[in-house]
């Protein structure tokens, strides 16, 4: 069965037939995997008939497409399950384990073997260490992986690095940096037909960008990253969309919508905080550059002052020589030397004026830079104050929201109690009214009895 194109999404029936056809074939070893790891048969190249064109049935191209397609399925399943279960994933989450297994094979696809028996072996960890040379954000996780006491192998360090990069939400950015340096870095580690050397690498980067909405809580110290990774259960990715929709209630949908809204707001605040941190970092870099420029200008000013003092001393020395020459030499020689001395003095005066002008300009530039530095410090303080105010406002709003919720609950509880009490009092009033009616009837009867004339008995 031919591999799907990059823009096509396979249906569940196509997936089942694809996996069934590949399971029926004999399994072999992928060229991108070491001698101790075996990849499932549907990602491995097969021997094809010679009648089909070599380009259309190239095993390496099919293998790359299979890796891209299974990456799409696993990333989609990972995002869906993360949204369903709250987007906070840990090491026990099965789709996340499958994602790291597939990502490892994607990164190791087409990795060059070692040259000769004594040549160095190309490891994935050696490639990942290049990232910190292009961006300073990767230095922290790289140094943390080097200092891990529980990881001993190169492959274990690479796995720990990938997990820390995912928690940092920079995995797609780091992979994009490596792809941008394809000609000067990746060509030394991979074969020309490797996945990272092809155009499909951009698709992998796009898939990894979607994982930035997921929050992961992974403890790399407690995981055994040196041993062989587990086996993928592909039944998780073969279910249809109908099965996923059965059993969902409106209450679960509303809870999911509310959770999605809250998490989207959280991601927006994190993105805003990231932009503010980048702005502060840029301002700090500008302040450092201005400080360096200020120090260089001070050094130039000191050098200019030294030159002025040297020229002044030389001028005094020349004047003394001129007086000695006027006494010892003849009038004609004195006149010629006086002319030369006058020219030299004029030249020195011009140089002195030029140096003074340059010193004035340097001092003016220094004052300007100092004022700019003061303005930058004020701007930084204002930004920090604004950030703190916004954080305090957010905290106070959250507290007010909690207080309002508690007040609403108390008011609702009191309202229920009042309704119950009002109902009881209404029933009591009804009973009292009935009793009043009965007493009134009795009183009326007694009055009628009293008003009847008494009978007269005759003697």
Q: Please report the beta strands in 79-233, taking only residues with DSSP state E, as ranges in sequence order.
A: 88-90, 215-217
Q: What is the pLDDT of residues 393-447, one digit of tens each?
A: 999 999 999 999 999 999 999 999 999 999 999 999 999 999 999 999 999 989 8
271-391: what fold? Answer: Helix Hairpins (1.10.287)
pLDDT digits (tens, 9 = 90+) for 231-249: 776 776 765 444 444 444 5
Q: Which has more confidence, 71 or 330?
A: 71
Residues 6 or more apart whose Cβ sits within 8 Å of residue 98: 74, 78, 232, 233, 236
Q: What is the pLDDT of residue 48?
A: 43
Give 158-167 pLDDT, tens digit per residue: 999 999 999 8
The answer on pLDDT for 363 being more than 60 is: yes
Nearest Cα to 220, choosing from 162, 153, 160, 140? 160
206 has a pLDDT exceeding 50:
yes
Token pair, residue 178, equals: 């490596």
Structure tokens at 284: 């700090």
DSSP bridge partners of 111: 190
Diameter over CA atoms, the chain: 195
- The burial of 288, by beta-carbon neighbours within 10 Å (0-12 exposed, 13-18 middle, 19 or more buried), is given as exposed
Contacts of 18 (CB under 8 A, 6+ apart): 1, 10, 42
Q: Please, what is the average pLDDT of the chain?
A: 79
How is the chain split into domains, by residue range?
12-243, 271-391
**409's tokens:** 């609950």
**Which pLDDT tens digit goes with each residue over 94-120?**
888 889 999 999 999 988 887 655 656
Is 111:194 a contact under the CB 8 Å cutoff?
yes
Q: Does domain 12-243 have CATH number 1.10.260.40?
A: no
Query: Mean pLDDT throughout 10-37?
Result: 41
Mean per-residue pLDDT, 11-23: 47
Looking at residue 182, the DSSP 8-state letter turns out to be: I
- Compute the distance between CA of residue 167 and CA of residue 414 in angstroms, rounded to an integer: 47
Helix and strand counts by DSSP (H, E) for the chain? 13, 2
Identify the band that residue 371 occupies on the pLDDT scale cut at 50, 70 and 90: very high
Please give the Cα distance from 31 to 199 (Å, whole number): 19
Task: Calculate the CA dihedral of residues 257, 263, 266, 270 and round it to 10 degrees.
Answer: -130
Q: What is the pLDDT of residue 122?
A: 78
| Alpha-carbon span 69 to 416, nearest angstrom | 58
The residue-averaged pLDDT of 350-360 equals 92
pLDDT at 34 over 70: no
Question: Does 253 have pLDDT greater than 80?
Answer: no
Mean pLDDT of 129-156: 90
């Amino acid at each position: 069965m031919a591999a799907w194109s990059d823009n096509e999404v396979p249906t569940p029936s196509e997936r089942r037939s694809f996996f069934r056809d590949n399971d029926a074939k004999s399994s072999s070893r992928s060229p991108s995997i070491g001698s101790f790891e075996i990849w499932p048969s549907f990602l491995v190249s097969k021997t094809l008939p010679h009648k089909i064109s070599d380009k259309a049935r190239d095993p390496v191209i099919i293998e790359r497409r299979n890796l891209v397609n299974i990456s799409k399925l696993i990333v989609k399943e990972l995002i869906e399950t993360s949204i369903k279960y709250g987007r906070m994933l840990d090491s026990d989450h099965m789709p996340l384990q499958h994602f790291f297994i597939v990502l490892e094979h994607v990164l190791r696809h087409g990795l060059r073997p070692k040259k000769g028996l004594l040549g160095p072996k190309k490891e994935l960890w050696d490639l990942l260490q290049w990232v910190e040379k292009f961006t300073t954000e990767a230095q922290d996780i790289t140094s943390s992986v080097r200092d891990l006491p529980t990881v001993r192998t190169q492959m274990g360090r690479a796995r720990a690095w990938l997990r820390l990069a995912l928690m940092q939400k920079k995995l797609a950015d780091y992979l994009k940096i490596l792809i941008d340096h394809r000609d000067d870095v990746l060509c030394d580690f991979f074969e020309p037909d490797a996945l990272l050397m092809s155009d499909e690498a951009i698709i992998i980067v796009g898939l990894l960008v979607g994982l930035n909405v997921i929050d992961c809580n992974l403890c790399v110290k407690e995981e055994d990253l040196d041993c062989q990774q587990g086996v993928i259960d592909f039944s998780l990715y073969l279910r249809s969309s109908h099965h996923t929709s059965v059993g969902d209630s409106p209450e679960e949908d509303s809870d999911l919508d509310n959770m999605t809204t809250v998490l989207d707001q959280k991601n927006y605040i994190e993105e805003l905080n990231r932009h503010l941190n980048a702005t502060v970092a840029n301002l700090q870099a500008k302040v450092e550059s201005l400080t360096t420029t200020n120090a260089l200008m001070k050094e130039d000013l000191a050098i200019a002052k030294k030159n002025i003092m040297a020229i002044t001393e030389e001028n005094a020395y020349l004047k003394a020589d001129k007086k000695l020459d006027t006494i010892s030499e003849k009038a004609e020689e004195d006149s010629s030397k006086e002319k030369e001395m006058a020219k030299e003095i004029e030249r020195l005066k011009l140089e002195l004026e030029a140096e003074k002008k340059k010193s004035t300009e340097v001092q003016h530039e220094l004052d300007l830079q100092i004022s700019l530095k003061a303005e930058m410090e004020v701007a930084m303080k204002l930004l920090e104050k604004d950030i703190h105010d916004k954080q305090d406002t957010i905290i106070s709003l959250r507290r007010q929201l909690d207080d309002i919720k508690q007040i609403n609950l108390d008011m609702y509880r009191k309202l229920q109690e009042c309704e119950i009490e009002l109902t009881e009092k209404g029933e009591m009033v009804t009973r009292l009214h009935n009793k009043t009616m009965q007493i009134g009837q009795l009183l009326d009867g007694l009055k009628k009895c009293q008003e009847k004339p008494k009978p007269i008995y005759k003697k």
